[in-house]
Amino acid sequence: MIITIANQKGGVGKTTTAINLAAAFALKGLATLLVDLDPQANATMSFVDNHELAASMYDVMVGQTPLEEILVPTHLEKLQLAPAKISLAKLEAALVGELDAHFRLKDRLSPVADRFEAVIVDTPPTLGLLTVNAMVAATHLLIPIQSSYFALEGTDDLLETVDKIKARANPDLQILGAVITLYDKRTVLARDIHEQIAKVFGDKLFRTVISRSVRLEESPAYRASIFEHAPESSGATEYYALCEEVMARV
């Protein structure tokens, strides 16, 4: 399974979800690959110092570097990382006029995909070429939705893009589900928002809700997932529960 984490809004918990879901899969014993397709490289920097890396996803997407040559290990035995650098921001310009521009990730992943039981792809906060590549390559899409007043703003555009990709490039793409992030159960507003999101996504909304938590926010600074940084925290419990829900659905 190849799970793309996408939402064109920034700061909704995509990267936090990608990191911790990938870590949860690895801790469950699945050979897992985390692909960082965001030029901001936050997922990469949560595990390694990307300044020390020679090659990254840009080289894979634009040139002849095989994906397996850029893979780096993480502190988790079962988790490997395909790192990004800021150079990925140049990809769109580099691929102008290339007929296969939207299929690059799918093509580059296919020789290695068999080696992994779970592949998680983190994406930038746009519906541009990188996110489209991630959707074309994916078997499943997971949408983090921030618990906020404007939570559902932009959802139509996102779902329209998914429909286009299903129609033209990847008929097998399934919406795995939406997960509410940055939830604060103390507020009435948050409960209202939860209801609204549930109305839109129905049974696609995961039962697990990811609460707002300082531990989740700080774990990247320790180059750790929540499971090493704060294994007893709500964030660890919730991301583990999300992983189990995901596994039950695929």
Q: What is the 3-state secondary structure (H, E, C) of the chain?
A: CEEEECCCCCCCCHHHHHHHHHHHHHHCCCCEEEEECCCCCHHHHCCCCHHHCCCCHHHHHHCCCCHHHCCEECCCCCEEEECCCHHHHHHHHHCCCCCCHHHHHHHHHHHHHCCCCEEEEECCCCCCHHHHHHHHHCCEEEEEEECCCCCCCCHHHHHHHHHHHHHHCCCCCEEEEEEEECECCCCHHHHHHHHHHHHHHHHHECCCCCECCHHHHHHHHHCCCHHHHCCCCHHHHHHHHHHHHHHHHC
Any contact of residue 15 with Mg ion (CB under 5 A)?
yes
* Binding test (CB under 6 A) with ligand ADP, winner from 37, 212, 227, 239: 212
* Binding test (CB under 6 A) with ligand ADP, winner from 160, 163, 217, 244: 217
Any contact of residue 216 with ligand ADP (CB under 6 A)?
yes
Any contact of residue 16 with Mg ion (CB under 5 A)?
no
Any contact of residue 20 with ligand ADP (CB under 6 A)?
no
Look at residue 216 and give the partner it binds from ligand ADP, Mg ion, none, a contact being a CB closer than 5 to 8 Å depending on partner kind. Answer: ligand ADP
Site for ligand ADP (CB under 6 A): how many residues? 16
Given the complex with ligand ADP, which of 86 and 98 has the nearer CB atom? 86
- Least separation in angstroms between residue 178's CB and ligand ADP is 13
Binders in 95-134 for ligand ADP, by CB under 6 A: 125
Given the complex with Mg ion, which of 124 and 177 has the nearer CB atom? 124
Residues that bind ligand ADP (CB under 6 A): 10-16, 42, 125, 181-182, 210, 212-213, 216-217
Residues that bind Mg ion (CB under 5 A): 14-15, 42
